[in-house]
Amino acid sequence: MVEAFRVIGGREIDGILEVEGSKNAALPIMIATLIETGTYVLKNVPNLMDIRTLVKLLESLGLEIERLDLNTYKIVNKGLTNLVAGYELVKKMRASFLVMGPMLAHCKKAKVSLPGGCAIGARPVDLHLKGFEALGTKITIDHGYVEAQTDELIGGKIILDFPSVGATENIVMAAVKAKGITILENAAREPEIIDLCNFLNKMGAKIDGIGTGTLKIEGVEKLYPCEHTIIADRIVAGTFIIAAVIFDGKVRVKGVIKEHLEAFLLKLQEMGVRYKIEGDTLAVLSKLSDIRGVKVTTMPYPGFPTDLQSPIMTLMCLAKGSSEIKETIFENRFMHVPELNRMGAKIDINGNIATIKGIENFSSAEVMASDLRAGASLILAALKAEGESVVNRIYHVDRGYENLSLKLKSIGANIERIKVDI
C-alpha cells in the first residue's frame, strides 16, 4: 500500500497559504555544515521528506543533528567519522551529491555514490567533477561511486559549460578552503545560491560577486559555525500564486519575495493577472476569466524557472486561446502532460515544445505524479475539476511541499491522504 491524495474538486477555497523555507536553499546550507567543526543552528528549514533523508545522510557521515522545533535544527560537527556517502541514501535525492565539495574542503577525500532524484532527465555530474579537478582533485569512478582525493585544494579558474546550480554550489563549498583564489565563471545565480554564499560568508568565507555569473572565492584556512535563517521557497510561492489565480484571487500568499519571482510575475502580468503585494503577502486582483494564453521559455535564473513550468501549464489550460511552453533545461519535463490530458486538457508535444489550448475546466480523473512539480500541477487541476480525482505517487510531492494537504484543507479544499494498492 502507498499513499495518494483524494481530491473532491470544484469547491471554493479562500484564505492565506503560507510559504515555507526553501528546500533548495536548506539542503546545500545543511550540507555546508560538513565543511567545519562546531555547532550550527538553522531556522526556517522546511518540514520535508528530502530534509529527513539528508539528516540521515549527514548523520551517517558523523554529524549530530537535533530538531529543536518543527523548522529549526541544531547541527553539531565534531569531525567526520565516515567519508563514504552510500548508495542507499544518495539514490533517494540528487542533492546528496553536494556532500562531495564540503568533504573535500574538510578532509581532502570523499567517496560518493552517483545520485538519484526526480526522473526529469540525465542531469550528469560531469560539471561538478571538472570543477573539482580544476581545484587539484584526482577523480576516479568505479562501481557506481565517485572517489575524490587531493593533497591540497588549490584555487583556479573554472568556466562552467552551463550555469548548473548543483555544480556551482559544490565547487563553491570546496573552494572556500582552497589555497589561493578561485574564479568561477558562468556560475548559476539562483537566490538559493545567494543564500548559500551568504551563509558561507557568515562563517568567515570570502566570496565576492554573489548574485552575478562570476564568483571570486578567496580560500581561508578556518571557518566558524553560525546561526542562519533559510529564505522562503520561491517555487512554493509561485505554485500558491497560481492557485490564487485559478480561484479568482480568494487565496492570498504570505512569504513572497518579489525579486526572486520577477520573470514569473512578469509572465503572469502578460497573461492578464493583476496583483498587489503588501509586506510579504501577495493578493491577486483579477479573475480567472481575465487570463489569456502566452508563450513561456524556461531559462536559468533570472529567467522563467523550469520548476514552475508544470504548475503554470495547469493555469494555461484554463486560459483563453492557446499557450506555448518551450522547455530548455530538462529533457524529460513534460511527463505530466499525458496526466493533464487525462483530465481533459488539450496539450500537444513536439520535441521540447508543448502547445496548450484553453479549456473551460478540467474533468476529474485518477492520475499519477511523475515528479515533484508535476504532482503540484495535478493537484491544482484536481482542485478545480468537478468531482473526485486521485493523485498517485504523492511521495514526489512530499519531497518539496510542506504539509500541502493540511495547508489546502485549512482554506477549504477537500483533500485527504488515502492508502491505495500499488
| Cell 501577495 -> residue | 282
Residue 126 CB burial class (10 angstroms; 0-12, 13-18, ≥19): exposed
How far apart (Å, rounded) are the C-alpha atoms in residues 80 and 34?
8
**Phi/psi at 120 (5° precision):** -120, 15
Known binding-site residues for phosphoenolpyruvate equal: 23-24
C-beta neighbour count of 322 within 10 angstroms: 16
Nearest to 267, CA basis, from 236, 237, 308, 234: 308
List, by residue number, the catalytic residues.
Answer: 118
Known binding-site residues equal: 23-24, 94, 123-127, 307, 329
Q: Residue 180 in contact with residue 219, Cβ under 8 Å? A: yes
3-class secondary structure, 365: coil
How far apart (Å, rounded) are the C-alpha atoms in residues 273 and 224?
46
| Cell 571538472 -> residue | 130
Nearest to 339, CA basis, from 331, 328, 349: 349
Q: Residue 184 in contact with residue 214, Cβ under 8 Å? A: yes
DSSP category for residue 286: S
DSSP category for residue 402: T
